[in-house]
Structure 1
């Protein structure tokens, strides 16, 4: 809980943190309501950094135009999972791709509609959960997610299985998440965020609750090994693991990301995978 999200917490009646499990249905319900409640504040704070037509992989500022993790995109049908206001999908469209942008939150997709009106770049928007993709088998040439959906779904193996199902043979699935080692530190961008307080191996999710104990926000932790095993279990091949370093001159603090912490340990893990041919 933080002042940064005070309005969403107030709207949802968040009263505290519970150390307990949260299944798939509860995680979906809580995070749909959370992102609906927080969408306006999120974009007020981060919208300028994210842009309307840009593909930022992470708070460190790594862009797809420089990283090229998806390869050539012109003519490719690309699924963005957890798109938020869909700046990445619009960036892909501007480069000749045929993107589809998916998010569980109507509030986030409302911002995507507004950004489409501002830019004149319209992409198909779909409201659905990442572990229940409403698409046909082998219908996409690539899939991506820049901090969308993956940490908020209870069964990451189900997400990867769904992504693998809708990808064509040889297609890439590239996603960015909080670096798993960040779980051991407090969510603090300052000196307090440099001291280990949690076990890396404790998979108990972070759950905020209301006065009746109902989840209002859920975020799930996986170790790096958990991600790799889930990817392999879904029949995907790990191609690369990118851990962006904090760039010189980058002074922005975003939540737990800061120059102080970024100089010492990674904040983001980008896993690049491929569906075998």
Structure 2
């Protein structure tokens, strides 16, 4: 059993340099595993109250699966085998278990999964890369990913094909990512984040790197069209694309997300896909 986490035990690192450059599959995976291991404690402290211990929230807008029903009506989740990819502290999986489902929470980051153990709930946890899922073909009825994996991988089709493989026929995969439109704007919650600053069509990854040029965080941009083509190339049929509006009750800022921006431009995109 992993020890209960009281505070960060990981060493601090110098402030990285932010740039735009190419980053491949291996570099992206290594960098993001390290970033989430170093930052999981702060992330859970900062966002844990909003995420809850057993809520299923699709993104910073606060769209809740209990209302959205993107995986299907809650009463139909009972008995379903469900894979959560990029689960973090497994909040979504814990909610799924409360509905009678049989979730498995997968994450690349060991530290994030330690937080899942700290919160508890008995959800099975798996530490693995989303592009190499350690499950047999047809293991799951449903799969989901709330801002997990897809924004951070260099080859999203590889991930989608592997999710397709582990789903049973008729299975649904629902995933949320930063809305591609946001890449044209500065990642700022205030008025400075409302003016176009870059080309929407520039797919060059955002990379934070150390003083030796090694990537320590990578995020990949895909246009809406790219995402749709990726879904199809992965073998899925896209049945819905949800762009959550910012609700009046949500007054928080989360990175570049805020009520100001959220009332004017979309912040998240949720792709609802079916394996025929």
TM-score by length of 2: 0.94
- Name 1:236's counterpart in structure 2: 236
Partner of 2:141: 141
Match of 2:47 in 1: 46
- Runs ≥4 in structure 1, deviation > 4 angstroms? none
Provide the secondary structure at the position in 1 that maps to 2:254.
Answer: coil
Q: Which residue does the alignment assign to 1:161?
A: 161
Q: Structure 2 unaligned runs (5+)?
A: 1-7
The answer to whether structure 1 residue 15 and structure 2 residue 16 are counterparts is yes
Once the two structures are TM-superposed, the CA of residue 17 in structure 1 deviates from its matched residue by 1.9
Judge conservation of contact 1:14–1:216 (CA < 8 Å) in 2.
Answer: no
Q: 2:27 corresponds to which residue?
A: 26
1:111 corresponds to: 115
- Give the RMSD, CA atoms, in angstroms: 1.5
**CA deviation after TM superposition for structure 1 residue 13, in Å:** 3.4
Deviation at 1:14, TM superposition (A): 4.0
Q: Which blocks of at least 5 consecutive residues in structure 1 are unaligned?
A: 1-6
> TM-score, length-normalised on structure 1?
0.94
Structure 1 residue aligned with 2:95: 91
Secondary structure in structure 2 of the residue aligned to 1:69:
coil
**Within 5 Å, which residues of 2 pair with 1:211-230?**
211-230=211-230
Q: Distance in 1 between matches of 2:238 and 2:157?
A: 14
Partner Cα distance (2:69, 2:222) in 1: 26
Query: d(CA) in 2 for partners of 1:267 and 1:41?
Result: 22
Q: CA deviation at 1:248?
A: 1.5
**Maintained 8 Å contact 1:14/1:208:** no
Alignment of 1:200-215 (within 5 A): 200-215=200-215
C-alpha contact 1:30 1:218 (8 A) present in aligned 2? yes
1:204-252 deviation per Cα after TM superposition (whole angstroms, max 9, x unaligned): 0000000110000000000011111111111100010110101123211
Structure 1 contact 102–125 (Cα < 8 Å) conserved: yes
Secondary structure, aligned partner of 1:189: coil
Q: CA-to-partner distance for each residue in 1:247-269, whole Å, 9 max, x for gaps?
A: 12321111111010011011010
Q: How many residues align?
A: 266
